[in-house]
Structure 1
Amino acid sequence: MIKKNTLQVEKVNFQIVNWLKTYAENANVNGFVVGISGGVDSAVTSTLCAQTGLKVLCVEMPIHQHESHVSRGREHINQLKNRFPNVSESLADLTSVFETLKKEVPTDFEQNKLNLTLANTRARLRMTTLYYFAGVHGLLVAGTGNKVEDFGVGFFTKYGDGGVDLSPIADLMKSEVFLLAAYLEVPNSILNAAPSDGLFGDDKTDEVQLGATYDELEWAMLHDQAGKSIEEFSEREKKVFEIYKRLNKINQHKMKEIPVCLVNRD
């Protein structure tokens, strides 16, 4: 049986904060900008950035956002500002921008494809907004993706939340992010909330979209890396493993470098 490593949270916290600070100083920037979603990943990322002592700008970017996400994000930002004097905030309500874009593009397509495309469009509008703030304030865009999302199932938007300058928690499994979040005293409302990307304007969970929990997907990722055979699994494990393998395969274009056609000049 494959067991998850027990995270040494204090050690990992120290390592990531130092890594962030060193990277920012070498890049000659003032600090970081983080998009706040009301989820655990952005809460942990922004708290790690705040510990560097450098400027941290937390940006809320609602687009028809579910109220529970808004309230959790607001609670986290208020807590972070009370704890760290280097943290500031900004609100960019992108709802009208999103609606204007929809008026300028055709929308008479198959509904599921249209809904997914519009969800990804939300993420890309937010990426553009974060880089706006990064540019005017001399900041780096800090990514909020974890290991399962970024390198397991590719559960992120290409050039959306995947468009960042650096990824401080991308080597942490989702379960490890939660362990670090508890250590960092992230609000309980976030710790107890079911993970959700919030890209559909509702409270639809990641589990509903993925068909498996993060714990299950971590299990599948570890077993896949260990070369385990599907014949050894229970029926539920087989289903989860198949979900993981399918998502990992179809989302490779997100996880690999952009392919370049190398021209033969001979």
Structure 2
Amino acid sequence: MLLLLGLLGPVAVTVVVAIQENGPLGVVTEPLSSDLVLDSIWKTLYLSLAVTVATWICAVLFTLAVAMSRPIVGKTLFGILFLTFWISLLVRTYGWALTLQPNGALDVIGQRLGLTDEGFGLFQTMPGLLPPMVHVMLPYMVLPIYAAIQSLDPAQVRAARSLGGSELFTLRKLILPSLKSGSWAGALLVFILSLGFYVTPAFLGGPGTQVLAMVIGLQFGRLENLGLTAALGTLLLVAVLGMYVVADRLFKISQQWDRA
């Protein structure tokens, strides 16, 4: 009961404040009338989609490496991956800030290798947000994909190879299709988390990378515009719930998460 109250209480207060301050229709029309909000929505969708695709590619490669390696190697790889859960998100973000900032670690390595003369210029840019967010989201994508690959019968892989199937053919026709349900579950989870991600964009982003969570933080923390803040939070909540319901109906994602 206490857990339910803690989850639903703040949501209910946010929705009530949004309706009281803006009216039922104003919850939608008021935020969408702002150019700043509209621009942040497009940037949020773009960044979330890019992070989801990049995380899926990394997660598939990582999961295949774990599945095909010796047990001790697989356990070591998983340990390294989930070691990030024991390190504060703020600490990891500061680490990426030191890496991406001008004359930071990445620029120094690039200059010494002859890849760039003036640095990569990734700090406070959209491309610069991609590696840190993939680093944070990777475990959430790996878990459902790994659960899906565990259901693959190794005898099928051996049969495909014994019948003359190449590694690429086996991967394309047998392994990747078996990862479909896990991939959709992980993609939805990463995309939803990326929509509301705040810490990394706030610390590593700049004026040209204001995503929706940063606009909500600005409206609430500095401008104290509770009406617009509540409306944006309500719209984001409705969008996330709607995406989950549609995706669950189409791809049975909740069943895959139960297996994970």
How does the TM-score come out when normalised to structure 2?
A: 0.26
Greater relative CO (CA pairs within 8 A, separation 6+): 2
More helix by share: 2
Question: Which protein shows a greater Rg?
Answer: 2
How does the TM-score come out when normalised to structure 1?
A: 0.25
